Every structure is written in C-alpha cells, then in structure tokens.
Amino acid sequence: MVRIAALAACTACGGGASGDGRTVLTIYSPHGKDLLQHYEQAFERANPTVDVQWLDIGAQEVLDRVRAEKNNPQADVWFGAPAEAFDRAAREGLLDAYRPAWADAVPPEARDSSDRWYGTYLTPEVIAYNRDAVRAEEAPADWDDLLLPKWKDRIVIRDPVPSGTMRAIFGGIILRGVQATGSSDSGFAWLRRLDAQTRDYALNPAVLYQKLGRQEGVVTIYNMPDIATLEKRTRIPIAWKVPTSGTPVLVDAIAIVRGAKQRALAARYYEFVTTREALREAARDFYRIPVRTDIAEDSLPPWIREARHVKAMPLDRRLLADSLDRWMRKWDAEIRNSSLRDE
C-alpha cells in the first residue's frame, strides 16, 4: 500500500547485517504497511538481534521478483498472495518445503501437498462504494449490476496486472464463463463491458483509495480486509457488499523462498505470524479471517462468523494457475481501455 516507504525499509534486502549489526530478515508481501509494521515490531521485540525489512508490493509483483531472483534469492519469506500464485511458484521450484507446527489445523485445499506453502487468511472479494455518493440500497449488489448504465464512468479499479486481488476477481469472472459455456469468451466479453464502465485504473491501492475519497470514482471491486481497514483507519466514507451470486474467497498463503539466506529465521518468522494469538490480532486489528480451524470462534470478532459463510464462487485453482497469466496478458493487450480506442 505504501511502496515508496516499503522500498526505503528494504534497503538492505538480501541477508547479511543491517547498519546496527543486526541480522536482516527480508519479507516480500502485499499485506500493506500497517500489518507488516505490526509484525515487524513484534518480531523484533521477541528477537532483538534481528532487523525485519519488508517490501510491500502487489502479489504478482512479488511472484515476478522471486522469479527474477531465482539464482540469487533476496527474500527469505513470501507473506501473502492468493494460493494460485503460490501454486505457480511451487511448480517453478521457487519455494522451500516447510511444515509448520499447526499444519494439521489447515484443510487440504488450503495448503500445498508438499508443504511448500500454507494458507494463513481467507479473503472474500467485495463491491465497495463511497457511501456519501451512493446510498446502500442503490449500490451494486452483484457483479452484473456493475454493468448497469448508471455506473458508466463511475467505477475506479486497482490496476489488475500487478494485483493478486484483481487478478483473482478477473480470473473468477472468466472461470464463471468457462463453467457456463465451456469457453472463456463470455468472461472476456463481460470484462470488456466492465472496461467500458471504468473511469480509471489506479496504479496502486493508495491511489485507488484517494480516488474513492475524492469521488473520482464511487464504486470499486477489491478485497474485504483492505476495504474494511480503509474504513476503520481513514475518514473515507466507504462501505461494501458481498456479491449475492457468489464471490471469490481466496486462500492467502505464506512460504519460505527457496535458497533463503536466513532459512532458520524465516521459519521462526513464519511460525510467529501464524500463531493463534497472531491470527486473533490480525482478525481484530486488520480484518483478516484465519484459515486455521483450531481457533475458538468465540475468541474472534463476531463479524468473522458471518464472513466465513459468504457464498463462495467456485474456483478451479489448477485452471487458474495454468491460465491466469495468459488471460491477464490478453486482457491487458485487447481489453484495457478498449472503449477509448474504439471511439
């Protein structure tokens, strides 16, 4: 969410010692400044000889960076992205096998069968809106509502190419078409219609939030935890709805990067941010829904009970892992801003 600050915080990425002699542990993550700083400070209090440095970038950007650094890894831990991204990384030999102490508390669909990644959070996708500009009863309640004429040029969307959240939403829409017709064509046709409705593609989440706040777009689609955190921590009047027909519910995961320079510390951090207490903190303070099934419901915020029962859009994770890069290249080349090119 704050890429410049994150890059500054990661000046010593790649292992070794920081300027004060502490051992550098490097985290790549799309989870945002607030959550990453929280765990940075907590882990350093428990491990005073360690300097946690994190790079806050989009999920696809993390995957691209880990790929590029395969022969000389700079990150130790990859903390956060949809499971589909971790599936691709695992197949490419980018992740190290690690079985956490809580492995048995995660269902099979939320983990890699060879222990190369494990789910941490469940992340529903939502339709969000500026509640000063849009009344709740008029806000889009489902995906197809976004295509109604009244939302023409009133939608702003996070740039989908580097964003794991947006790639998952677009992938879910295309999969919906594949499941209905056997072809991806109807999904791309839907995305073309959405493009015609879209006023702008925001470079990053911070810009997206600014545009929503200034009403340069009053409706968006994004993940529930980030939208909920935005509402809590800023004065932007934001609200959201879970699409009635179903929504992608992503498994957000964690992994150790293969060849990590600080492998032992990486495992320690991995365990630290996924304890029951850490996950309760993430639920309470950052609206994250834990994947672990061994956390008592009554120890979690009440809203989680409702969020855990949203209608999930069926997702073929293998097809997504095999096809999503190709689909996004097609969207970027043929659909992005196509309505402007057609004028």
Residue 4 confidence (pLDDT): 34
Give which of 89, 78, 124, 115 is closest to 251, Cα–Cα.
Answer: 124
Residue 275 confidence (pLDDT): 98
Tell me the two tokens of residue 128.
Answer: 């969000």
pLDDT at position 119 over 60: yes
Q: Where in the chain is the domain with CATH 3.40.190.10?
A: 3-122+251-305, 123-248+313-342
The contacts of residue 108 (CB under 8 Å, 6+ apart) are: none
For tokens 């500054």, the residue is 8
> What single letter denotes the amino acid at residue 60?
Q
Task: Please tell me what DSSP assigns to residue 312.
Answer: B
Give which of 1, 28, 5 is closest to 253, Cα–Cα.
Answer: 28
Residue 11 confidence (pLDDT): 41
Mean pLDDT taken over the chain: 91
Residue 307 confidence (pLDDT): 77
How many C-beta atoms lie closer than 10 Å to residue 216's C-beta?
15
Tell me the two tokens of residue 129.
Answer: 């809106």
d(CA 3, CA 58): 9
Query: What CATH superfamily classification does 3-122+251-305 receive?
Result: Periplasmic binding protein-like II (3.40.190.10)
Contact 65, 57 (CB under 8 A): yes
pLDDT, mean of residues 315-324: 88
Residue 5 confidence (pLDDT): 40
pLDDT, mean of residues 250-257: 96
For the domain made up of 123-248+313-342, give the CATH fold. Answer: D-Maltodextrin-Binding Protein; domain 2 (3.40.190)
Please, is 89 exposed, middle or buried when counting C-beta atoms within 10 Å of its C-beta (0-12, 13-18, 19+)?
Answer: buried
Residue 310 confidence (pLDDT): 86
User: What's the pLDDT tens digit per position in 8-50?
Assistant: 444 445 556 777 899 999 999 999 899 999 999 999 999 999 9
Q: What is the pTM of this model?
A: 0.84
Q: State percent of the chain over pLDDT 70.
A: 94
Contact 199, 216 (CB under 8 A): yes
d(CA 98, CA 264): 11
